[in-house]
Amino acid sequence: MRGVSEIAYRLRKSHIIRYLLPLFTTFLVISILYSRSNIEIGTNDLIQKHRWAHEDEDSFYFTYSKKFKMPAYSYNSKKDSNKNWLFFSSKQEDVIPQSHIAHYDLNKLKSTANAAVDKEQILILTPMQTFHAKYWENLLQLTYPRELIELGFIIPRSKSGDNALKLLEREIKKIQTGKKEQRFHKITVLRQESPSFNELGEKQRHALEVQKERRAKMALARNELLFSTIGPYTSWVLWLDADIVETPPTLLQDMTSHDKPVLAANIYQKFKNPDDNNKIDIRPYDFNNWAESAIALELASKMDNDEIIVEGYSELATYRPLMAHLYDQNGDINAEMHLDGVGGGCTLVKAEVHRDGAMFPNFPFYHLIETEGFAKMAKRLGYEITGLPNYLAYHVEE
C-alpha cells in the first residue's frame, strides 16, 4: 500500500507542476517587463512621467495614398481621460510597412513655373480660428489636381476653435470618404495649446498694444503647423488665411507660373458701399505687403532691440509703399513689384525657402515679427520677395 501511495503522490505532484509551470513562467515574464518599465535613471519621476512626442502632439491625419491601405478613420466622439470631449480620437497613427525605409533625393525636388504639368505637390496651410463655409467652398473650386494638394490646419483650444474644428471635420469627412479622384492627398489638423488672441473682438484684436504678443502667438502657431506638415515631397507651400473666401479658381497655377521664391497676392475686401446705394465695392484690407522706406529704417535704428514695427498704425508712420494701395483695375494682372514685407493672407513660398531656415520669428527680428519677420529672414537668406498688386484675393466681409 505504501508503494501505491508514493506513486499516487508523485503523479499528483507532476500534475500540479505541469499546470503551475506555465503560470509561473507568465508571472516571471510580466515581472521582468514591469521592472524594466520602471528602471530608475537619475530621477524616477522623469521616466515614469515620460511621454513620447506623438502622445502629446494631438495631431490628426486624414491620409489618402494609393500605395498603402489605411485603416478606417473614426469620426465618432470619444472622451480622453486627460482632456475634454474631443471630436475624434487622437490615437490614429500612420500605417507604415514593417522595416520600411524611404529614400528621398531632395536635389531632384523641383519648384517650377509648370508645377501642375510637372506634378509638383503643394501644401496649403491655414491657421483657423473660425470656419467660414465660403473659405472651404473656394478651396474646393481650385483647379489644381487634388492628388497633388495637401492641407494643414492649426486650431486653438477655445470655444470658437472647438466649433471651427467640428465644422471643418464634417467637411473633411465628406471629401476624404468620397470619390477617390476628389480627395486631397493628405489633410492634417493640429490643435494649438497656446492661448489665442483671436478670441478678442475685431478692434481689440488689432489694437497696437497687443500686436507684439498676439503676433508672437501667431508665429508660434505657423511654425508648429509648418514643421509638422512639410514633407520631403513638398515643392510649394501656400499660406492661405481662413478669412480668404474668394480667389481665382486657377490660383495655384497662376501663382506658381511666376516661379518666385516668395509671392504675395493683394488682399482686398468686398463690402456694401453706403455712399453708392449699398452697391458691392472693394477696398484694400491687408497692409502687411510693403516695400521698405528710408523713414522706416531710420525709425527702426532708434528702437530698442525688443521693439517692433507693425504696419498700418498712425502711431508708427513708416511711409512705406503699400501694395494694397497700388492696385490698378485696368492694369496687367501678372504685374509684379518688389516687396520687403508680406502678410499671410495668400502668400506662396517655395518649399526650399522654408527648408533653408526661413520661419516665422516670434521675437523681434530686425524689429519685425511673424510674417513680416519671415520676409526679412528670407531676404537675409538671399531670396527675392515679390508681390502681385493687380492679382486679388478677397477677405471675408466683416
Lowest mean pLDDT among 55-64, 122-131, 154-163, 300-309: 55-64
198 has pLDDT over 70: no
pLDDT higher at 199 or 125: 125
253 has pLDDT over 80: yes
Q: pLDDT category, 14, cuts 50, 70, 90?
A: low
Grid coordinates belonging to 261: 521664391
Q: Are 129 and 110 in contact (CB under 8 A)?
A: no
153 has pLDDT over 50: yes
Average pLDDT over residues 39-62: 45
pLDDT at 16: 55
Lowest mean pLDDT among 58-67, 72-81, 374-383: 72-81
Average pLDDT over residues 302-308: 90
User: What is the 8-class DSSP label of residue 183?
Assistant: S
98 has pLDDT over 90: no
Partners of 190 in the β-ladder:
59, 154
Which residues 6+ apart lie within 8 Å of 257 measured at CB? Answer: 113, 114, 115
pLDDT at 87: 42
Lowest mean pLDDT among 9-23, 109-123, 237-251, 261-275: 9-23
CA dist 93 to 49, 97, 162, Å? 22, 12, 22
Which residues 6+ apart lie within 8 Å of 386 measured at CB? Answer: 258, 260, 262, 263, 264, 336, 337, 338, 339
Average pLDDT over residues 135-164: 96
From CA 312, how far away is CA 200, in angstroms rounded? 19
pLDDT higher at 381 or 13: 381
Lowest mean pLDDT among 21-30, 51-60, 163-172, 341-350: 51-60
Q: pLDDT category, 89, cuts 50, 70, 90?
A: very low
pLDDT higher at 94 or 166: 166
Q: pLDDT category, 310, cuts 50, 70, 90?
A: confident
pLDDT at 124: 98
Q: pLDDT category, 105, cuts 50, 70, 90?
A: confident
Return the C-alpha torsion angle 341, 345, 346, 351, nearest 10: 70
302 has pLDDT over 60: yes
